[in-house]
Structure 1
Amino acid sequence: MSAPRASRARWLPLAAFGVILALLAAGVWLSRNPDRDALPSPLIGKPAPAFRLPVLGAPDQLVTQDDLRGAPYLLNVWGSWCPGCREEHAVVNAFAGTGRVRVVGFNWKDEPDDATRWLAQFGNPYDLVLADYDGKAAIDWGIYGAPETFLVDGDGTILWKHVGPMTEATIREQLMPHVERLEAL
């Protein structure tokens, strides 16, 4: 009776190794899945959250969500401390240069001097930069990292959200169909 138990005991480490290997393979496969960043947002189709934020460099000038109504805008969440923001910045600059939709910056948890210096160094694609120094407004938007980007229509309804750095492909394949529908209205 002890021989079969000993035989089974020899296979136990191999079986455990096989399970670990399968889990690692599944993790690698999931990390290559292009839909992993397509996180659903409960805000899509709903009004943009209320906020009252200062303009970067003009702390006495406060802007609310109602001030942005009337024309669609792309709200781009960024920070000077954010490597992904630097990665996507040229893409945001290029999109802003098309003039198809105004681009509003949402500077998140940043020091004003750092943010201003960063824009001077890399270019300022934003029509307006809102400053959420303490990160409280970001909570209502469901922001949990930077960069994140939202498309909001002229009535203040959130149409689209992207988590992570935007690429030319993101603009072309995901954002532009929404922009073209807005332009057709």
Structure 2
Amino acid sequence: MNKRWVLLVPLLLFLALAVLLYRGLFRDPSVLPSALIDKPVPEFALNLLQDGKPVHRADLLGKPALLNVWGSWCPSCRDEHPLLLKLAGQGVRIIGVDYKDVDADALKWLGSLGNPYAFIIRDDQGELGVNLGVYGAPETFLIDAKGIVRYKHVGVVDEQVWSEQLAARYQALVDEVKP
């Protein structure tokens, strides 16, 4: 009798693993859970990329924004950059987090491609990225006027992502602060 159970253990382990893998086939890889949803952006004390002036969490407050984590080393960031320029031109407030980058490379990149950011937080050590739970770049957080994270998108923000996932949420946050 004991030998039969021993023979069933590998079969049961295989079936459990197969169920887990099967479930994974239907998950959207751009949807990663974030512990920060409905919580404040973590406190930080870093510097601005352009002039080295100090920047803190309080500088994010006042208006809703897209907090966009990017780097000049990131090919996918280059793919989303034209849309960010377009959105900034339409009045969308975008704050950049230059993640684990070399300042000269980032400034050259912005000089050549344009700058959609209201300001850029220099996160060369990845400290803010770690506190935000960043897996890599690009990642975009939708934050409200009080600095609360309302949504997180992992991957490139393109026209489809903007129209289907971010635009209405952003507009709702803008409408909340209108007098």
Q: Please confirm whether the aligned pair reaches a TM-score higher than 0.5, indicating the same fold.
A: yes
Taking structure 1 as the reference length, the TM-score comes to: 0.79
Aligned length: 157
Q: Which of 106, 114, 119 does residue 115 from structure 1 map onto?
A: 106
- C-alpha distance 107-170 of structure 1, shift in aligned 2 (>3 A): same
Q: For residues 7-34 of structure 1, what are the alpha-carbon distances to aligned partners after superposition, in whole Å with 9 as ceiling and x for unaligned?
A: xxxxxxxxxxxx9xxx8xx78x93xx57
Residue segments in structure 1 that go unaligned for 5+ positions in a row: 1-18
CA distance in 1, matches of 2:68, 2:40: 17
Match runs of 1:153-168 below 5 Å: 153-168=144-159
Q: Secondary structure at the match of 1:131?
A: strand
Give the aligned partner of residue 172 of structure 1.
Answer: 163
Q: For residues 95-153 of structure 1, what are the alpha-carbon distances to aligned partners after superposition, in whole Å with 9 as ceiling and x for unaligned?
A: 11110x31111001111100000001111101101100111121111012000000110
**Alpha-carbon distance, 1:40 to partner:** 1.6
Taking structure 2 as the reference length, the TM-score comes to: 0.82
CA distance in 2, matches of 1:119, 1:169: 24
Give the aligned partner of residue 43 of structure 1.
Answer: 36
**Alpha-carbon distance, 1:184 to partner:** 2.7
Identity %: 45
Q: Secondary structure at the match of 2:171?
A: helix
- C-alpha distance 137-183 of structure 1, shift in aligned 2 (>3 A): closer
Match runs of 1:27-42 below 5 Å: 30=25, 35-42=28-35
**Alpha-carbon distance, 1:57 to partner:** 2.5
Q: Secondary structure at the match of 2:87?
A: helix
Q: Secondary structure at the match of 1:75?
A: strand
Q: Is the 8 A contact 2:141 2:149 kept in 1?
A: yes
Residue segments in structure 2 that go unaligned for 5+ positions in a row: 1-13
Q: Is the 8 A contact 2:61 2:146 kept in 1?
A: yes
User: How large is the RMSD of aligned CA atoms in angstroms?
Assistant: 1.8
CA distance in 2, matches of 1:36, 1:145: 13
Match runs of 1:90-169 below 5 Å: 90-99=82-91, 101-169=92-160
Between structure 1 and structure 2, the one with the greater Rg is 1
Q: Is the 8 A contact 2:40 2:148 kept in 1?
A: yes
Q: Is the 8 A contact 2:64 2:174 kept in 1?
A: no
CA distance in 2, matches of 1:93, 1:164: 17
Give the aligned partner of residue 14 of structure 1.
Answer: none
Q: Secondary structure at the match of 1:130?
A: strand
CA distance in 1, matches of 2:78, 2:27: 21
CA distance in 2, matches of 1:40, 1:108: 20
Say yes or no: does 1:52 pair with 2:82: no
Q: Secondary structure at the match of 1:117?
A: helix
